[in-house]
Amino acid sequence: MKIEEVKSTAKTQRIAAHSHVKGLGVDEKGVALQVAAGLVGQEPAREACGIVVELIKAKKMAGRAILLAGPPGTGKTALALAIAQELGSKVPFCPMVASEVYSSEVKKTAVLMENFRRAIGLRIKETKEVYEGEVTELTPCETESAMGGYGKTVSHVIIGLKTAKGNKQLKLDPTIYESIQKEKVEVGDVIYIEANTGSVKRQGRSDSFATEFDLEAEEYVPVPKGDVHKKKEIVQDVTLHDLDVANARPQGGQDIMSVMGQFMKQKKTEITDKLRKEINKVVNKYIDQGIAELVPGVLFIDEVHMLDLECFTYLHQALESTISPIVIFATNRGHCTIKGSDDIVSPHGMPLDLLDRIMIIRTSPYALEEMIQILKIRAQTEGIAIDEDSLQCLGDIGVKTTLRYAVQLLTPSYLLSKVNGRDVIHKEDVEEIRDLFHDAKTSARVLTTDKDKYLH
């Protein structure tokens, strides 16, 4: 009988191009460490981004834009993602590529505005009266049906709730009993009932029952502290785009067409400016009353040179708005013609009046040692074993070509070493893979030397 190791059922996460980026890697004084949080080198750019993060946290950054400018493969997208990691999961981060605006269904400006509003969060705080505790008793009281016959109806339900501080017995309406049944509440579950709406939420099984079974499919929660009847603050995070969509989509009736409409593929609906203005009015009212708090997030627009003059003009207006996220642009272009114009040449392919309002952070090409460090981090992230000679060889390839190309050679080299019966990448594997896959410069050279063999 063959004995095999049982593999874990834990879900394996797909490794993306920037899975290794965990933050900016700056210390308390704002000084960038050489290698930290998955980032290597680029100290001046990382320190500048650290100041941006502090400004965002202090809410002094709204309506400003940043441009990450540098040659290809110098970590611009990695820096934008690092800023998002530093801000935490509660701050909205919306990445997009500039060419996304050219949609056949929706206007360019509508796509831009949609992404702007995805990057603006709203934290709504509500104080609700709730009854919370572990269910000790659940008794529906029945009476003779008013319709006559043998049937009985539930007139009310008696429920006992227990907390660490005391017990309470409640007499509830039959409609609440229906909610209790829907939530599949049993004696021993921890629940809370909202006093105003009567909605019931099951939080889990009381942890006093945790040793009941050998195999447990339940989530166990502690018995609530304090009184059964209490005021509870409930915080909800939404983006302005969520509010737009919720109000733009017509609520279907009961007829068959509205049911069919829900199942059919949704076309992108264009949200009108009028609707957005109405939502902004309500949002501002909530903010003034102290019910809600605005959380300006980050909108990251990569390859910003792909936007045209119309989009840049619209961005100008959007950045001036009182409700505006922090916008981070990234580009690897030098002087080039602005898209949508015939002869306007500008740095980074952006109009000068917009460039004037932007804080520009430069990224510089990596040195050989930095490339080797990055390749080492990528190999660890992808679970690849590689020796020092191969790392040095890949670093040299990266200097001659690009870092992206060197990183892309890692996994094929590892597969080749496996085929050759090794668990570690050797230098000959890297060299063989380099001959199999051309980089952009080599490919361009081949096109030049053999141009008569290709179509023009």
Contact 331, 67 (CB under 8 A): yes
The confidence score (pLDDT) of residue 403 equals 86
Q: Calculate helix-pair angle for 388-400, 368-381, nearest 10 degrees.
A: 120
**Residues in CB range of 263: below 8 A, 6 or more apart:** none
Q: How far apart are CA 292 and CA 294, in angstroms?
A: 7
Dihedral of CA 401/407/411/417: which sign? positive
The confidence score (pLDDT) of residue 147 equals 62
Q: How far apart are CA 223 and CA 221, in angstroms?
A: 7
Backbone φ and ψ for 429, nearest 5 degrees, come out as -65, -45
- Residue 76's DSSP bridge partners are none
Domains and CATH numbers, the chain: 35-119+297-362 (3.40.50.300), 125-236 (2.40.50.360), 368-451 (1.10.8.60)
The confidence score (pLDDT) of residue 267 equals 54
Contact 231, 127 (CB under 8 A): yes
Contact 228, 133 (CB under 8 A): yes
pLDDT values of the chain reduced to their tens digit, one per residue, 456 residues: 555 554 444 444 456 677 777 888 888 887 888 888 878 888 899 999 998 888 888 877 766 789 999 888 888 888 888 888 888 777 888 888 988 888 777 888 888 888 888 888 888 887 777 888 888 888 888 777 666 556 677 778 888 888 888 888 888 877 888 888 888 888 888 887 887 777 788 888 887 776 666 566 677 788 888 777 777 777 778 888 888 888 876 555 445 545 445 444 455 566 788 888 888 888 888 888 888 888 878 888 988 989 888 888 888 888 887 777 888 999 988 888 888 888 888 888 888 888 888 889 999 888 888 888 888 888 888 888 888 888 999 999 888 888 888 888 888 899 998 888 888 888 888 889 888 888 888 888 888 888 888 877
> Token pair for residue 280?
């902004």
The confidence score (pLDDT) of residue 4 equals 54
Q: How far apart are CA 281 and CA 283, in angstroms?
A: 5
Backbone φ and ψ for 188, nearest 5 degrees, come out as 105, -10
Distances from the Cα of 265 to the Cα of 143, 261, 269, 283, 439, angstroms: 48, 8, 12, 30, 40
**pTM value?**
0.69
Q: How far apart are CA 70 and CA 219, in angstroms?
A: 49
Contact 45, 363 (CB under 8 A): yes
Three-state helix/strand/coil letters over the chain: CCCCCCCCCCCCCCCCCCCCCCCCCECCCCCECCEECCEECCHHHHHHHHHHHHHHHCCCCCCCEEEEECCCCCCHHHHHHHHHHHHCCCCCEEEEEHHHHCCCCCCHHHHHHHHHHHCEEEEEEEEEEEEEEEEEEEEEEEEECCCCCCCEEEEEEEEEEECCCCEEEEEECHHHHHHHHHCCCCCCEEEEEECCCCCEEEEEEEHHHCCCCCCCCCCEECCCCCCCEEEEEEEEEEEHHHHHHHHHCCCCCCCHHHHHHHHCCCCCCCCCHHHHHHHHHHHHHHHHHCCEEEEECEEEEECHHHCEHHHHHHHHHHHHCCCCCEEEEEECCCEEECECCCCCEEECCCCHHHHCCEEEEECCCCCHHHHHHHHHHHHHHCCCCECHHHHHHHHHHHHHCCHHHHHHCHHHHHHHHHHCCCCCECHHHHHHHHHHCCCHHHHHHHHHHCHHHCCC
> Token pair for residue 358?
């932007």
Torsion of CA 412, 413, 418, 420, to 10 degrees: 120
| DSSP 8-state assignment for residue 180 | H
Contact 82, 39 (CB under 8 A): yes
Query: CA neighbours within 13 Å on the CB side: how many for 118?
Result: 13
Q: How far apart are CA 348 and CA 68, in angstroms?
A: 10
Q: Which among 375, 360, 351 has a CA at the least distance from the CA of 330?
A: 360
